[in-house]
Amino acid sequence: MAAIETSGLTKTYGELTAVDGLNLTVRDGEVFGFLGPNGAGKSTTINMLLDFTRPTAGSATVLGYDAQAEADEISPRVGVLPEGFDIYPRLSGRRHVEFAIQTKDAANDPDAIIERVGLSAEDAARPAGDYSKGMRQRLATGMALVGDPDLLIMDEPSSGLDPHGIREMQDLVRSEAERGTTVFFSSHILEHVETVCDRVGVLNEGELVAVDTIEGLRESVGGGGTMELTLADGDAGRFRENAAAVAGITEVVATGRTLECTVTDSAAKAGAVVALDDAGATVDDVRIEDVSLETLFTALTNGDGEVGADTAGTAQSADATTGAAAASSEVSE
Ligand SMILES: Nc1ncnc2c1ncn2[C@@H]1O[C@H](COP(=O)(O)OP(=O)(O)OP(=O)(O)O)[C@@H](O)[C@H]1O
């Protein structure tokens, strides 16, 4: 059974089609990133899954239940982190969690939930009105975890968090997935999605333009980027042909001790290191620049998204044997 399945799901507001014939399957147990620029229709989709908004056409099932006709079956099994979560300013964080436990008739220990989302006991005792945005987000996440949901739906969960908080959120999403929870989260920050998701769906102007792994998406827009190999030997030019002969490498430029390779298949990265080693070269360093997620996103959405101007990938030193490196990027608000 799929955790989420939509069929021709559509929502129009007057002339505007916010979600346009969405056919989406989120598998049981996966972490699925729902990506798209501002206004793409992510929240509208989530609202239809939760029966906060009625579709104009099409249908959806959540955990096998019809999202509209059987919404009462869905809500106890789903934890929701809504976009723009409202707090009760005078109530403590702990009271919020206790309230969620009572409302869901759940058996959770509030202190365990508070610890799981990285709030200290002292913070939990303070009025939530005094919380920073990041602390509110943690609290909202804790409330979503009450009742140990089978499906966690998170609308922009990293919103308001600092880099440390984002990493904690990613760890939390992963550990929830390891407990068997399906996680569906929306984001316009591609880097957050890459770290944590099994697959992503890219939404643009209400239409699903791609569903794949990030790696799969990269391949679909032309592969793996560039790789710079620094050799111990003085003249890299002697080994140019060895690198160029590797399948998946389309171009090699030799300058001094370095070979700069254009890579169209990520498997070629390790292949090049092996080929050079076989040819007697000593590879001192490997720097990989993946196709940036920003470039990827622009290619998929034909530049319609509000994508930042800097489309360069972030080069990182990588282990020569794994050849793995991640590009980092962010879609601007
Ligand atoms: N109640 C509404 N009435 C009219 N238009 C709406 C309503 N809700 C959403 N829209 C429009 O539908 C489109 C999709 O909005 P939605 O909030 O789903 O996008 P989103 O992808 O979640 O964006 P963001 O990343 O900014 O939250 C937007 O053009 C928005 O203005």
* pLDDT tens digits along 79-97: 999 887 788 999 999 999 9
Across-strand partners of 60?
6
- Per the document, the length of the chain is 333
Cα 43 to middle of ligand 1, angstroms: 7
Q: What residue owns the CA closest to ligand 1's atom 29?
A: 39
Distances, alpha carbon 25 to alpha carbons 3, 7, 61, 179, 235, in Å: 8, 9, 10, 21, 52
The token pair at 205 is: 């102007």
Say yes or no: CB of residue 41 within 6 Å of ligand 1: yes
The token pair at 141 is: 């996440």
Is 34 in the same domain as 177? yes
Q: Residue 135: what are its φ and ψ, rounded to 5°?
A: -65, -35
Q: What residue owns the CA closest to ligand 1's atom 14?
A: 41
Cα 265 to middle of ligand 1, angstroms: 37
pLDDT tens-digit map of 30-60: 999 998 888 889 999 999 999 999 999 999 9
Is 164 in the same domain as 47? yes
Determine the residue of 12, 13, 17 to mutate for testing ligand 1's pocket, defined as the one with the most ligand atoms within 8 A of the Cβ atom.
Answer: 13
Show Cβ contacts of residue 200 under 8 Å, excluding neighbours closer than 6 positions.
Answer: 32, 33, 34, 35, 193, 210, 211, 212, 213, 214, 217
Domain membership flag for residue 326? no
Residue 12 clears pLDDT 80, i.e. is over it: yes
Cα 14 to middle of ligand 1, angstroms: 13
Say yes or no: CB of residue 165 within 6 Å of ligand 1: no
pLDDT tens-digit map of 269-295: 888 999 999 999 999 998 887 666 666
| The last residue of a domain, from among 212, 240, 265 | 212
pLDDT tens-digit map of 180-197: 999 999 988 777 777 789
Distances, alpha carbon 176 to alpha carbons 5, 48, 107, 117, 171, in Å: 21, 23, 17, 11, 9
For residues 231 and 284, the answer to whether their CB atoms sit within 8 Å is yes
Among candidate residues 242, 314, 231, 325, the one with its CA nearest the CA of residue 278:
242
Range of the domain at 73: 4-212
DSSP-derived secondary structure for 66-120: ETTTTHHHHGGGEEEE-SS----TTSBHHHHHHHHHHHHT----HHHHHHHTT--
Is 174 in the same domain as 47? yes
Is 235 in the same domain as 184? no
Q: Which residue has the higher pLDDT, 126 or 302?
A: 126
Residue 318, pLDDT score: 34
Cα 9 to middle of ligand 1, angstroms: 15
| The last residue of a domain, from among 212, 232, 263 | 212
Residue 323 clears pLDDT 50, i.e. is over it: no
Distance, in Å, from the CA atom of 318 to the CA atom of 75, rounded to the nearest integer, reads 44
Is 143 in the same domain as 280? no
pLDDT tens-digit map of 240-261: 999 999 988 888 999 999 999 9
Residue 204, pLDDT score: 87
- Answer yes or no: is the ipTM higher than 0.95: yes
Residue 159 in 3-state DSSP? coil
Cα 227 to middle of ligand 1, angstroms: 40
